[in-house]
Amino acid sequence: MKTKAFIFDLDGVIVDTAKYHFLAWQNVAKSLGINFTHEDNEQLKGVSRVQSLELILALGNVQITDEQKQEYLLKKNEEYLTYIDKMDESEILPGVMDVLNFLKENKQPIILGSASKNARPILEKVNILHYFDDIVDGNDVSNAKPDPEVFLVGAKKANQTATNSIVFEDSVAGIQAANSAGMTSVGIGEKTVLNEADYNFNDFTEISKDFLLKLINQ
């Protein structure tokens, strides 16, 4: 059996936190008098916290001072953390545990590659922090997806080359990051949205052991 680096995004791949990000951003938008829909929220997936606020401001054509931006970022995260605080194992997305267990049994490095600065507390909350050999998150990188930095750092931590790395992602920015790093990209979600991915699945229940073995031994 060969060894590859298996790099997982967090939000929308392992847990469905997109709904919590949305609720918190919607309140920020409301305070700013900006209409912010579910559709608008798609653009925020995989994007850093600071850039998400910039996108919302651009959407409403609203300008605020840097000081106000800091206040809104803090307010957003405080609300988001109240949702996170209530999370447990039941919020792990379907099929994720089977894939993680199969990779562990086959001694494949499992790495987290997320834009979130809340990655560790979330993994702790849902009780799977110990599955990860390394974590690269929003605290470790300066360039946000679609820049490949987060995945390149992740591959390095697993002592694997980019071509020996596989990325699971639910965002367009994340798929682009994996592709520009020269990694194998696996889109989790709408195929029409993630059409740049090398492989597409609606969720992890569609990922078979044979497919994982093919990735390991390719």
Q: Which of 32, 40, 42, 117 binds ligand BG6 (CB under 6 A)?
A: 117
Contact between 137 and Mg ion per CB under 5 A: no
Residues 129-158 that bind ligand BG6 (CB under 6 A): 138
Which of Mg ion, ligand BG6, none binds 52 (CB below 5-8 Å, type-dependent)?
ligand BG6
Q: Which one of the spans 50-58, 76-84, 104-112, 169-177 is the region binding Mg ion (CB under 5 A)?
A: 169-177
Between 5 and 24, CB nearer to ligand BG6: 24
| Shortest-Cβ-distance residue relative to Mg ion | 12
Are 57 and 50 contacting, i.e. CB atoms less than 8 angstroms apart? no
Q: Which one of the spans 7-15, 54-62, 69-77, 135-143 is the region binding Mg ion (CB under 5 A)?
A: 7-15
Shortest spacing between CB 151 and ligand BG6, in angstroms: 13
The strand order across the sheet containing 165-169 reads: 134-136, 110-113, 5-8, 165-169, 184-188, 199-201
Q: Which of 12, 109, 113, 187 binds Mg ion (CB under 5 A)?
A: 12
Contact between 154 and Mg ion per CB under 5 A: no
Are 150 and 115 contacting, i.e. CB atoms less than 8 angstroms apart? yes
Are 6 and 109 contacting, i.e. CB atoms less than 8 angstroms apart? yes
Q: Which residues are part of the catalytic machinery?
A: 9, 11
3-state secondary structure of 110: strand
Cα distance between residue 194 and residue 188, in whole Å: 8
Is the omega angle on the peptide bond into residue 146 within 30 degrees of 0, that is, cis?
yes
10 Å CB burial of residue 182 (0-12, 13-18, 19+) is middle
Between 8 and 204, CB nearer to ligand BG6: 8
Residues 28-87 that bind Mg ion (CB under 5 A): 46
One-letter amino acid at 149 equals: E
Residues 72-91 that bind ligand BG6 (CB under 6 A): 77
Contact between 44 and ligand BG6 per CB under 6 A: yes
One-letter amino acid at 204 equals: F
